[in-house]
Structure 1
C-alpha cells in the first residue's frame, strides 16, 4: 500500500511540474508576437487537416482533379473532317449522324429531293441549300431556306407535295443524314459552282432563261444568278 501511495504521489508531482512548465511556456510565448502567430497557424493547419480527413476520398479526388475541357453540343455532334470531296468509303466510316432542327431540315431535303441520285447528286442538292443560306436574299436559317414559299410555289417540292415527310427507307435516310452532317460541319462545296437553284431534267422552267447554268448531275440541272459586274463609265 505504501508503495502504491508513493507511486501515486510521484505522478501527481510530475503532472504538477509539467502543468507549471506548460503554463510558463505559454506565458513566455504570449509576449512574443511571432510565437503567437506560429501557434495560430499551427492550429489552423490542424483544423484544416481534421476537416479534410472527414471528406470522402472520391470527393477529394474530384476537387483536386485537373479541369476537363468543356465539350459543347455542336462539337459533340460534328463528324470527322471530310476529305476534299465526300466519297462513299469515307461516308461509310462515319457514325450515325444526328443534330438539331436545322440538321433535320437539310437531311430531309437531301432525302426527299435526291434519294435516288448518286452520292454526288445528293451532295449537290445540299450545296444549293447552303449556298442559299450564304446569300442575303434568302432566309437566314436552313429550315427557313427549305420552307420558303413564293408565287411559284414551294422552294423545295417535298415541303408541299402532300406526302408523308417521315423517311421510309432507313438506309437512304442514314446516308442523307451523314451527308447533311458533313456539309453543315464544313465539307467543301465544289460540285455546283455556287448554284442556288436546280430542277429535274424532265422540265424546263421559264426562270432558267435568266440564270446561269453551272452543272448537270444525275437528274438535276443547277443554276445561279448571273454575276453582276460594275458598269464601266
Structure 2
C-alpha cells in the first residue's frame, strides 16, 4: 500500500472517530490531472486537522499503533548487536529456512561482526518480502540469474563445508533471531549488497542505504507516477 493510500485511510478513520466532522469531496471530472488537486488536498488536510482536534490522545494513539502480525515471535526491539545480545538469544529451532539463512550468513559474511551478519540477513529477508524475488529464504539464497548466482557460494563448484563450528553457531543464532521477527534496523530496506572490491553496474543506479563492515547496501530507486 502506498504512503498516500495509508495516509488517506488514516484520515478517513480519524474523521469517523471525530463524529461531528464531515467530509464532502467532489471527484474532479477534468481531463487535467493537476486542475483541481490543490483545492482537494487543501480541503482534505483541513478536515484532517479538524478531525485530529476532536480526538483524545488515546484515540490518536489507537489509530497510529500498527497491529502485530499474527504468528510472529515477540523479539526484543532493542538491538545491541553485541556478544551479550547474542548470548541471550535462544538456540534456534531447526528448519529448512533457518539452514538456508544461516548458510548464507556463514559463507557470505562469517568474517563480519554480529551487526554485519544481521545486515546481510536483512537483505535476504527484504528480498523475501519483495515481489521481485522468490517468496522463501531458500528460494532467495539459491536464486540464479544472468548466468550466475545471487550468492556466489551456491554455484562456485565447491562443497559447502562448515569448518568453523563457533562461527556456524553464531550465524545460526543470528539467523534464528531474524527469522523470529527481530526488527530490521540497519539497511533501510536494502535488497542488494556488495563489497568495496567490486563495482557492479547497478550500484550507480541504486540508492546506497548503509555501509557496514565490508559491505555496501543498496535498494532500487523509488518508482513513482512521475518516473
SS at 1:213 equivalent: strand
Return closer, same or farther for 1:200/1:152 CA change in 2, 3 Å cut-off.
farther
The CA distance in 1 between the partners of 2:184 and 2:90, in whole Å, is 22
Whose helix fraction is larger, Structure 1's or Structure 2's? 1
1:228 aligns with 2:220: no
Map of 2:132 onto structure 1: 137
TM-score relative to the length of structure 1 = 0.63
Larger radius of gyration: 1
TM-score relative to the length of structure 2 = 0.65
Q: Are the aligned partners of 1:109 and 1:146 in contact in 2 as well (CA < 8 Å)?
A: yes
1:113 aligns with 2:96: no
1:168 aligns with 2:163: yes
Q: Are the aligned partners of 1:79 and 1:182 in contact in 2 as well (CA < 8 Å)?
A: no
The CA distance in 1 between the partners of 2:208 and 2:147, in whole Å, is 20
The CA distance in 2 between the partners of 1:166 and 1:152, in whole Å, is 24
Q: Are the aligned partners of 1:96 and 1:174 in contact in 2 as well (CA < 8 Å)?
A: no
Runs of 5+ unmatched residues, structure 1: 1-74
Q: Find the partner of 2:195 among 190, 200, 208.
A: 200
Give, in angstroms, the shift of residue 80 of structure 1. 7.4
The CA distance in 1 between the partners of 2:73 and 2:154, in whole Å, is 27
Return closer, same or farther for 1:211/1:182 CA change in 2, 3 Å cut-off.
same
1:81 aligns with 2:75: yes
The CA distance in 2 between the partners of 1:89 and 1:141, in whole Å, is 30
Map of 1:209 onto structure 2: 204
RMSD over aligned CA atoms reads 1.9
